[in-house]
Amino acid sequence: MGKRYKTFEVYLVYIDPDKCDGCEECVKFCPVDVFDMAHKATVGRPQNCLGCRTCVAVCKSGAIIITEI
């Protein structure tokens, strides 16, 4: 019998610093605390990302890109 591997998704979270205006919406709405805030948002815990894309929906600046790998 062959080995079974669990399939899983990994997501890349990218914030374009030139577009981010520091509104903090992504920090407020991410359910798993991926983002940190300095004067702009940064990706503190990318391993937490569930790929829900809530952050993309709430970011009015279009600064966040989620890529499934």
Please say which residue, 6 or 39, places its beta carbon nearer to ligand SF4. Answer: 39
Please say which residue, 5 or 68, places its beta carbon nearer to ligand SF4. Answer: 68
Please say which residue, 2 or 55, places its beta carbon nearer to ligand SF4. Answer: 55
Strand 11-15 and strand 35-37: the pairing is unpaired
Q: Say how many CA atoms lie within 13 Å of 66 toward its Cβ.
A: 20
Q: Which residues bind ligand SF4 (CB under 6 A)?
A: 11, 13, 15, 20-26, 30-32, 34, 41, 49-55, 58-59, 61, 63-64, 66
- With H, G, I as helix, E, B as strand and everything else as coil, classify residue 27: helix
Beta bridge partners of 14: 65
